Chain A
């Protein structure tokens, strides 16, 4: 029984990271129709901020990382995506690839390509025993952080004026503008939220890996894309659900695959995703089809 509970915690923890990453992508896609490949580089930049600030009080590191990643997200909106707003999806995607490559190479030039160890949150790596079951503190922390952020995001979207405006804009951006809702403000709010979620993912990735590198955002963002696609592009609950499904399937494969096949876990995972898309082409919770871009 004990190993099963441990695996469930592992799965919920990994799924939480994917869900937070997927929500950041889903927020921007829902409003702009932009698949922001550079979102993974927001994780990476956040991780390097933690690396640079390590040794300082946790609150200072946390606040600085969140502020830097939010400002970075807002800057990318203002200087990269706003000038091409309304362009074809392929152009937006290409711009996000270009931005991703630029950010990675800037970090590469400054810090080099080799991973750098980070002394942050190492206390979370230890396990605690609850009812005879050993559970990683990091898993508990990740699950708690995910829960708090999901609840916070839900409350923001449901209970605040800006949240209602964002939901309206994600549903029908043109109509939202026809009611006087400012396009720039809604998009900037989405980027800021996306940046805040990315900062949270940065913390979790740094504590898990204990190191930073210029390409560290690549795999998490790839899984986040998968999560948004499985859940249904443009549907935020779907994105979160997709993240958790990926987490549970990943850990499940890790457990059930024979030892000599475990190294091919991701291949099995991607095959399952392909089958799931064949069965549910619009994802499990299909979002609206985007008829227009902004």
Chain B
């Protein structure tokens, strides 16, 4: 579904992402793992059209996304929930959700999806008239995901959805994400937690210093290989992963 090939991204003179290649297949959860400064968030922002791509390309179901504006990329089916949720705090829950309607031509289909999303996240209906900024961190994260889902994406990209949430809330959140995967939603998730990524992902990409240093199906990657790649320590063979 998503093909990212040899993607490089510069911040001024600094190359933040170097020749990264990522593939996501339909109905998969793929996790992008790595320490702070690895280039994960930069990669997601470039996929969503927020940052310009220096070289390489991004395709979603064969459609080239490179060079398109963020709004054009959403229309083509890639929706990003950026790090930090970015809820419109002065807008009500309902207004936050209704913003996604603009990208949809069919208001009836939007209404049906909104009804379904409110079943997945029941608090949305209960708190529809409450301002987004007054929700708890976990509720804001769910609102951000619900809002992105209402753009009817073929691929949902999430940057550290568990960041700053209590463990019990993270557990609930990932339960919802796994339910969504069963419904056929394809996801690319940025995760700092190796354990969580290995639990939920079909496939994993480990990034460090702007490069993909390890990738594969989650069941094929051992925890020790993962740790070595994540922290950049020498393997038993002596090479730096």
Chain A residues with CB under 8 Å of chain B are 161, 164-165, 167-168, 171-172, 174-183
Contacts and interface: CB of A to CB of B under 8 A. Distances in A.
Given A178-B79, A181-B102, A182-B71, 8 more contacts: A164-B91, A165-B99, A168-B99, A171-B91, A174-B86, A179-B103, A179-B148, A183-B71
The interface centre, meaning the residue of B69, B86, B147 with most chain A CB atoms within 10 A of its CB, is: B86
B98 A180 contact: no
A167 B96 CA distance: 10
Nearest to B132: A171
B86 A180 contact: no
A171 B132 CA distance: 12
Contacts of A183: 69, 71
Given A164-B91, A167-B90, A174-B50, A179 B100 contact: yes
A180 B82 contact: no
Given A179-B100, A179-B147, A164 B79 contact: no
Contacts of B148: 179
Interface in B104-146: none
Contacts of A178: 48, 50, 70, 74, 79-80, 82, 86
The secondary-structure label for the interface of chain A is: helix
Given A164-B95, A179-B151, A171 B89 contact: yes
A175 B140 CA distance: 14
A260 to B, nearest CB: 48
A172 B50 CA distance: 13
B91 A174 contact: no
Contacts of B101: 161
A175 B70 CA distance: 9
A164 B101 CA distance: 11
Contacts of A181: 71, 99, 102-103
B151 A180 contact: yes
Contacts of A167: 88, 90-91, 95
Interface of B: 48, 50, 69-71, 74-75, 79-80, 82, 86, 88-91, 95-96, 98-103, 147-148, 151
Contacts of B89: 171
A48 B147 CA distance: 47
A20 B231 CA distance: 58
Contacts of A165: 99, 102
Contacts of B151: 179-180
Give me the 10 closest cross-chain CB pairs, A-B, nearest first: A180-B103, A180-B74, A175-B86, A177-B70, A171-B88, A168-B88, A179-B99, A180-B71, A182-B71, A164-B95
Contacts of B147: 179
Nearest to B99: A179
Contacts of B88: 167-168, 171-172, 175-176
A181 B70 CA distance: 9
Contacts of A176: 88, 99
Given A167-B91, A178-B74, A172 B102 contact: no
Contacts of B71: 177, 180-183
Contacts of B79: 178-179
A178 B69 CA distance: 9
12 contacts: A164-B91, A164-B98, A164-B99, A167-B90, A168-B96, A176-B99, A177-B50, A179-B79, A180-B74, A180-B75, A181-B99, A181-B102
A161 B86 CA distance: 19
Contact of B70 (A161, A171, A172, A174): A174
Nearest to B133: A171
A168 B91 CA distance: 7
B72 to A, nearest CB: 9
Given A180-B75, A183-B71, A171 B50 contact: no
B149 to A, nearest CB: 11
B100 A180 contact: yes
Contacts of B102: 161, 165, 179-182
